[in-house]
């Protein structure tokens, strides 16, 4: 008997709760019917529709070169580090002067000897003691000895090919190198070059001189498209495109990657709507407009898109109130009220 009473009480509680829930739901529906469905609206204005193409690009200095080893030899000294500003012909890496491969000592001796002999022959020529041909022969030997000495010096003293900043150091002191090995990279970083690969389907939309931009944290840096390849790269199956950007305070770093956007279309005085405010049905596009406190569904004609926004060609006008919140609750001609 006790169990039966407990069961009856439980059923009564469940029925009471359901009844209250139905009453609450009914109250919400009644409120919405009397006061309107709560919505947020945005007044439609004209703006500039922007269509961009975005790519990941590899950055490098506007001019960049990597010095290479010419000897199988041990590095004796490195005279600069990454980040140092260097001048053209400044010696960065050195090897032993007595390196057998460079033959620097022999070349130096030959040059000094040829220089002294040439100077002596010049004096003799001025005194009329030797012929012009004898002097010319000696001058040729002197120039050959000088060229050999300079070439040998460049093998043991590796200098920077350009003015710039050391952006990479590929070796350490006391390391053995081999001919052709990368030693260091020098870049001119006051301007940055961005290399990107554009698929065949998009290359026709890009023009030399098109505006480009890089977003670095919260900073947007403007640049331009400077080079567009005329032929498809067979390895990347895309077209090589280069953009250039000013970089006066070295915000952009060579060797890094960055997102680059290229502007391909700007349409002034356009009605632009974010795509998530647009609904679709049977291939047609619609938005909800508030007019006289009622929700009205308007069919619109779409133009260009940048995957985030659409250009609207017709169906709505500047000054219309676009419903942007509460869309899923709306039906045609239903009463609505604006909330903050």
Res. 20: pLDDT tops 50: no
Contact 271, 315 (CB under 8 A): no
Averaged pLDDT score across all residues of the chain: 89
Phi, psi of 83 (to 5 degrees): 100, -15
Coil, strand, or helix at residue 175? coil
Residue-wise pLDDT tens digits, 224-265 = 999 999 999 999 999 999 999 999 888 999 989 999 999 999
Residue of 167, 199, 198 whose CA lies nearest to 184: 167
End-to-end CA gap in the chain? 58
Distance (Å) of CA 130 to CA 97, 121, 123, 305: 37, 8, 9, 86
Residue of 312, 72, 67, 43 whose CA lies nearest to 177: 72
Q: Under CATH, which number does the domain 52-60+191-266 receive?
A: 2.40.30.170
- % of the chain at pLDDT higher than 90: 76
Res. 25: pLDDT tops 70: no
Specify the pLDDT at position 39: 94
Question: What is the total residue count of the chain?
Answer: 340
Specify the pLDDT at position 225: 97
Binned at pLDDT 50, 70 and 90, residue 216 comes out as confident
Beta bridge mates, 228: 241
Sequence spans of domains, the chain: 34-49+268-338, 52-60+191-266, 70-180
**Token pair for 91:** 């010696």
Residue of 155, 178, 175, 181 whose CA lies nearest to 102: 155
d(CA 340, CA 325): 11
Res. 16: pLDDT tops 70: no
Q: Under CATH, which number does the domain 34-49+268-338 receive?
A: 2.40.420.20
Contact 112, 145 (CB under 8 A): no
d(CA 92, CA 68): 12
Residue-wise pLDDT tens digits, 72-82 = 999 999 999 99
Between residues 29 and 38, the one the model is more confident about: 38
Res. 24: pLDDT tops 70: no
Write the CB contacts of 135 (distance below 8 Å, at least 6 apart in sequence).
Answer: 121, 122, 125
Helices 104-126 and 132-156: angle between axes, nearest 10 degrees? 160
The dihedral over CA atoms of 282, 283, 288, 292, expressed in degrees to the nearest 10, equals: -70
d(CA 71, CA 56): 38
pTM of the model: 0.66
**Token pair for 307:** 């995957």
Binned at pLDDT 50, 70 and 90, residue 101 comes out as confident
Contact 265, 48 (CB under 8 A): no
Given CATH 3.30.470.10, say whether it is the number of domain 70-180: no
Q: In whole angstroms, what separates CA 279 from the centre of its chain?
A: 34
| Mean of pLDDT values over 34-51 | 92
Binned at pLDDT 50, 70 and 90, residue 134 comes out as confident
| Mean of pLDDT values over 199-208 | 94
| Mean of pLDDT values over 267-287 | 94
| Mean of pLDDT values over 151-177 | 94
C-beta neighbour count of 8 within 10 angstroms = 10
d(CA 21, CA 30): 14
């Amino acid at each position: 008997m006790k169990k039966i009473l407990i069961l009856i009480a439980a059923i009564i509680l469940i029925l009471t709760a359901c009844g209250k829930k139905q009453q609450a739901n009914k109250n919400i529906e009644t409120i919405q019917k009397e006061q309107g469905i709560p919505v947020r609206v945005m007044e439609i204005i004209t703006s500039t529709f922007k269509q961009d193409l975005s790519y990941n690009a590899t950055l490098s200095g506007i001019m960049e070169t990597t010095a290479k080893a010419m000897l199988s030899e041990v590095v004796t000294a490195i005279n600069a580090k990454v980040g140092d500003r260097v001048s053209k012909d400044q010696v960065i890496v050195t090897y032993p002067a007595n390196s057998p491969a460079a033959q620097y000592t022999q070349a130096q001796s030959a040059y000094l000897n040829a220089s002294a002999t040439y100077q002596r022959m010049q004096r003799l020529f001025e005194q009329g003691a030797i012929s012009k041909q004898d002097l010319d022969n000696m001058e040729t030997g002197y120039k050959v000895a000088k060229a050999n000495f300079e070439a040998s010096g460049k093998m043991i003293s590796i200098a920077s090919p350009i003015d710039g900043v050391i952006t990479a150091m590929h070796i350490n002191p006391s390391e053995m190198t081999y001919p052709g090995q990368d030693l260091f990279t020098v870049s001119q970083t006051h301007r940055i070059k961005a290399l990107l690969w554009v698929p065949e389907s998009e290359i026709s939309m890009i023009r030399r001189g098109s505006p480009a931009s890089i977003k670095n944290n919260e900073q947007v840096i403007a640049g331009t498209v400077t080079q567009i390849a005329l032929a498809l790269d067979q390895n990347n199956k895309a077209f090589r495109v280069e953009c250039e950007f000013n970089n006066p305070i070295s915000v952009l770093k060579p060797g890094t990657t960055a997102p680059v956007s290229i502007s391909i279309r700007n349409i002034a005085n356009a009605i632009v709507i974010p795509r998530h405010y647009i609904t679709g049905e049977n291939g047609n596009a619609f938005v909800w407009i508030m007019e006289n406190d009622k929700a009205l569904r308007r069919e619109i004609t779409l133009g260009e898109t940048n995957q985030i926004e659409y250009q609207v060609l017709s169906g709505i006008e500047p000054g219309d109130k676009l419903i942007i919140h509460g869309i899923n609750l709306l039906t045609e001609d239903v009463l609505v009220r604006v909330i903050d």
